[in-house]
Structure 1
Amino acid sequence: MVGRQLNWDEYATTWARLHGGFDPRVAAPVVRGWLRFAYHLGYVLGRLRVTPTAVTVAGVLLCFCVPLFAVRPPNGPFLGALFVLLAAVADSVDGALAVATGRSTRLGYVYDSVADRLGEIAWLVAFWLLGAPGALVVAGGALSWLHEYVRARAVSAGMREIGAVTVGERPTRVCVALLGLLVVGLAGLIQLDLAAGTSTMVATVWVLLAGFGLGQLLSAVRRSLLATT
């Protein structure tokens, strides 16, 4: 028999506690709508006895499909964008499922973080295969990884869980990958040679946002940790 699951208000309160006090009930309409969608889908999966780990694994597999399908002409980038969207849904739903069913664990949090990094690597590989320079792709991945690493170390050192919401956060990377693949696909339909240049442009945007976001985070970490010493 399926155990009791949290209703929306209970879920939002628990979610806020796990995310530095950010209450999804007072978020912007788009953010609130997305989180409510993830909650309801997670609720249904919970009734079906699907585990959060299964959703996390499915999300990683969807990410791995991105570079495999993105290079298939003529509509490969559009398929890649679809897989990014599905992976983003899975990434939100696994956490929602864990919270709604009371299965949220520290080990699951680690697994989810590892899955996110593997997924982002797959997305960047897709842009490399579509023509972006390898050095640019590696820089984007390194800056995004460093963003998460700095936050994790700062939390261990005593900073609040979030510290600062930067322009280089995970949702930004999802949007860059999704919209970037759509733009690359459109460019390829206009002229095949445009796809590589557009892919380079998207990778450059990723690097710039990741670099600026890292700077914002480092500034917030400095302020937070100096205030607690």
Structure 2
Amino acid sequence: MAGTRLDWDEYAATWARLHGDFDPRRAAPTVQGWLRFAYQIGHLLGRFRVSPTAVTVVGTVFCVLVPVVVLREPGGPFIAAGLVLLAAVADSVDGALAVVTGRTTRLGYVYDSVADRVGEVAWLIAFWLLGAPGPLVVAAGALSWLHEYVRARSVSAGMREIGAVTVGERPSRVLAALVGLVVAGAVRIFSFDVAAGAITVVASVWVLLAGVGLVQLLGAVRRSLL
């Protein structure tokens, strides 16, 4: 399949088989638009023989740089938010590139999952550096990790479908990181204490979404495996 262009329907069908039969053609317009964008970029990179692993590595580097730059003046949080956005693009493109070039592997799936968790830890460290309480940051990370762990174990136990698209999925975490960093950057102009309060609120929302999402997922798993 390498070097062969899949049209959108062929790509969507292959993508669905790799994601619990969740058909992107039936997704919300924003989700479908994002996946179409990743598909186009993946096809372009495939023409230049870029490997999916290379894109994953670049995305992880973007994530690791987030806490490094977040306190820099001027505009550290805004730079960090830009890195989160670039990492989110890379996270979608590496999978699209693997599908387009026929290079999907189980090992690549593991690498991608590990990179996602490393990235989220880096974002939450940036939240902590901006003043979010440590226990709240740990709770956000733990609930997000547990969400992914439950889904992975459920698939191993025989759940053949995605189960449920919850409010605590990866896109919600990306959005929380983006909003938190941008808002903290905006209010940090006036006071670091205000920025700490703002990032604490966003971290609290992250925890809430992760907790509700976990409950939703557990309910779906129970229905699927009973």
Verify same fold: TM over 0.5. Answer: yes
Q: CA deviation at 1:50?
A: 0.3
SS in 1 for 2:188: helix
1:172 maps to which residue?
A: 172
1:60 aligns with 2:50: no
2:212 maps to a residue whose letter is: F
Q: CA deviation at 1:111?
A: 0.5
Deviations 1:152-208 (A, max 9, x none): 111111113311111100010000001111111111123332111111111111111
1:25 maps to a residue whose letter is: R
Query: Runs ≥4 in structure 1, deviation > 4 angstroms?
Result: none
In 2, distance between residues paired with 1:75 and 1:148?
32
In 2, distance between residues paired with 1:139 and 1:212?
13
In 2, distance between residues paired with 1:158 and 1:21?
14
In 2, distance between residues paired with 1:75 and 1:161?
43
In 2, distance between residues paired with 1:115 and 1:97?
16
1:13 aligns with 2:13: yes
Give the total of aligned pairs. Answer: 225
1:225 maps to which residue?
A: 225
In 2, distance between residues paired with 1:192 and 1:110?
38
2:149 maps to which residue?
A: 149
Counting only pairs closer than 5 Å after superposition, residues 1-229 of structure 1 correspond to structure 2 as 3-226=3-226
In 1, distance between residues paired with 2:211 and 2:9?
36
> 70-79 or 84-93: which moved more?
70-79
What stretches of structure 2 of length at least 5 have no aligned partner?
A: none
> 150-159 or 182-191: which moved more?
182-191
Deviations 1:7-29 (A, max 9, x none): 22211110111112222223221
TM-score by length of 2: 0.96
In 2, are the aligned partners of 1:147 and 1:217 still within 8 Å (CA)?
Answer: yes
SS in 1 for 2:192: coil
In 1, are the aligned partners of 2:71 and 2:130 still within 8 Å (CA)?
Answer: yes
In 2, distance between residues paired with 1:51 and 1:102?
11
In 1, distance between residues paired with 2:151 and 2:23?
20
2:138 maps to a residue whose letter is: V
1:89 maps to a residue whose letter is: V
SS in 2 for 1:189: coil
In 2, are the aligned partners of 1:74 and 1:189 still within 8 Å (CA)?
Answer: no
Deviations 1:20-70 (A, max 9, x none): 222222322111111111000010100001000000000000001111111
In 1, are the aligned partners of 2:71 and 2:129 still within 8 Å (CA)?
Answer: yes
Deviations 1:72-129 (A, max 9, x none): 1331111110000000000000000000000001110011000000000000000000
TM-score by length of 1: 0.95
In 2, distance between residues paired with 1:192 and 1:123?
18
Percent identical residues: 73
RMSD of the TM alignment (CA)? 1.1
In 2, distance between residues paired with 1:126 and 1:153?
29
